Amino acid sequence: MKIISVNSGSSSLKFQLYQMPEETVIASGQVEKIGFKDSVCTLKHNGEIRKETLAVKNHTQAAKLIIDGLINEQVLTSMQEINGVGHRIVQGGEVFDRSTLVNKKVIEQILILGEMAPLHNYAHVEAINGFLKVLPDIPHVVVFDTTFHQTMKADAYMYSTPYEWYLNYGIRKYGFHGSSHKYVSEKTNELLKLENSKVIVCHIGNGASLSAVVNGKCVDTSMGFTPLEGIPMGTRTGSLDPAILSYMEKKLNVSSDEMYEILNKKSGYLGVSQLSSDARDLEEAAFRGHKQAILAFELQAKRIADYIGSYYVYMGGLDAVSFTAGIGENSPYLRKLVLERLKVLGVLIDEEANNNNRLLISSPDSKVKIYVIKTNEELVIARDTMAFIKNNNIV
């Protein structure tokens, strides 16, 4: 069975083509700068990379370019070889507690939920419609970032706002990066080989979130109603006193929309360091002694440790912490900053293992296992798509 996993943005479309259930990546690629005259289409197959620059008007054209490229490069003999398409959707709200087949009603619901994730859901629907036009006769399955977090209890997902806000407008914590948290927590449990496990996943990339997972089920997560809540990120503030917003709107004479832009795109690493949102650039600056670059990492590390400590209490213990995503997988510096704050929990780090990004970076006498696990959100999408097709006998 051949499954395409699709991850779309407002001007980009990334994909991986899998042979399932072997879980082999046959090809991958992306179309960037959709809507521009100098869009870039990239296809990777058999260790070779093919790039083409051309005008791509919309996601439908991008989807057609991907399928045509796979056929032209003889990765596929025809469209009929594809058995299903899995689409990542950021916000599923309380409407979707599992992956589901795309139909007109599902698309309408994703668009309604787009009010809560305007930067993501609308673009996802563009990609769905694009692939539906190119591949109309095969099943399309939507896989939601929020689904993994639907197992949280009310004390973890509710806010102390007027209750009618929840009833009438859906104001609650939803959480994101669910496919990554699911994949990494499952991998962690495989390594632990425990019947009952208490795991914390730290997905640290430009966007960053944590999850507390008991026996494979999420019980809490750091992102909230939107991906803005939680720890400081590449350009996002993370949680802060909401009174700051109205105070600074008056001071800066900006609208609430402009303030939202500042909190999402001009804060975090970028805002504190005044240098860059890229962790690699900031690490170089920190090693040179740049005080604000150091502060940007210290702020994030302290907040990560805060969440880990609160999850330790909430779960009643902790067996393992797993770092993942771009920074979590590749920054010994940040991991050390976090783990040094966790000594009170019996966490002890193996310096050499950490510096070399090994799988297990805790020392043998550490009370908590510390792992570095490469995430694979696309594979989770492919697995869910295949499972849905098989369980529902869809041909």
In this structure, the answer to whether residues 228 and 353 fall within a common structural domain is: yes
Q: Which residue has the higher pLDDT, 371 or 67?
A: 371
What's the whole-number mean pLDDT along residues 42-68?
88
Which of 144, 172, 206 is a domain's end point? 144
Beta-bridge partner residues of 283? none
Residue 211 domain flag: yes
Calculate ∠ Cα 304-309-311, nearest 5°: 95
In this structure, the answer to whether residues 257 and 339 fall within a common structural domain is: yes
- pLDDT surpassing 80 at residue 201: yes
Quick one: pLDDT at residue 248?
A: 97
In this structure, the answer to whether residues 21 and 79 fall within a common structural domain is: yes
Q: What whole-number distance in Å separates Cα of residue 201 and Cα of residue 308?
A: 9
Q: Residue 393 — pLDDT band, cuts 50, 70, 90?
A: low
- Catalytic option among 68, 97, 137, 145: 145
In this structure, the answer to whether residues 125 and 16 fall within a common structural domain is: yes
HSE toward the beta carbon, residue 215, CA cutoff 13 A: 5
User: What's the total number of domains in the chain?
Assistant: 2
Residue 39 domain flag: yes
Which of 108, 125, 144 is a domain's end point? 144
Could you report the per-residue pLDDT of 162-184, keeping only the tens digit for each?
Answer: 999 999 999 999 999 999 999 99
Residue 98 domain flag: yes
In this structure, the answer to whether residues 228 and 362 fall within a common structural domain is: yes
In this structure, the answer to whether residues 199 and 121 fall within a common structural domain is: no
In this structure, the answer to whether residues 206 and 107 fall within a common structural domain is: no
In this structure, the answer to whether residues 54 and 137 fall within a common structural domain is: yes
Q: Which DSSP helix (H) or strand (E) runs through 314?
A: helix 291-315
CATH number of 259's domain = 3.30.420.40
Residue 227 domain flag: yes
In this structure, the answer to whether residues 358 and 240 fall within a common structural domain is: yes
Residue 91 domain flag: yes
Residue 392 domain flag: no
Could you report the per-residue pLDDT of 103-121, keeping only the tens digit for each?
Answer: 999 999 999 998 888 878 8
Could you report the per-residue pLDDT of 251-290, keeping only the tens digit for each?
Answer: 999 999 999 999 999 999 999 999 999 999 999 999 999 9
In this structure, the answer to whether residues 88 and 218 fall within a common structural domain is: no
pTM score over 0.95: no
Which of 123, 144, 165 is a domain's end point? 144
- Give the helix ranges, DSSP H, for 193-241: none
70-91 in b/e form (b: 16+ CB < 10 A) is beeeebbeeeeebbbbbbbbbb
Q: What whole-number distance in Å separates Cα of residue 62 and Cα of residue 51?
A: 14
Residue 251 domain flag: yes
Could you report the per-residue pLDDT of 302-336, keeping only the tens digit for each?
Answer: 999 999 999 999 999 999 999 999 999 999 999 99
Residue 87 domain flag: yes
In this structure, the answer to whether residues 210 and 77 fall within a common structural domain is: no
DSSP 341: G
State the residue range of the domain holding 10. 2-144
In this structure, the answer to whether residues 292 and 354 fall within a common structural domain is: yes
- pLDDT surpassing 90 at residue 247: yes
Nearest Cα neighbor of 143 from 106, 179, 107, 180 is 179
Could you report the per-residue pLDDT of 118-136, keeping only the tens digit for each?
Answer: 878 888 998 899 889 888 9
What's the whole-number mean pLDDT along residues 211-215?
98
HSE toward the beta carbon, residue 131, CA cutoff 13 A: 30
Q: Give me the chain's average pLDDT, please.
A: 93
Which CA distances in Å does 244 have to 249, 265, 292, 314, 328? 8, 17, 21, 29, 30
Q: State yes or no: is 145 an active-site residue.
A: yes
Quick one: pLDDT at residue 72?
A: 86
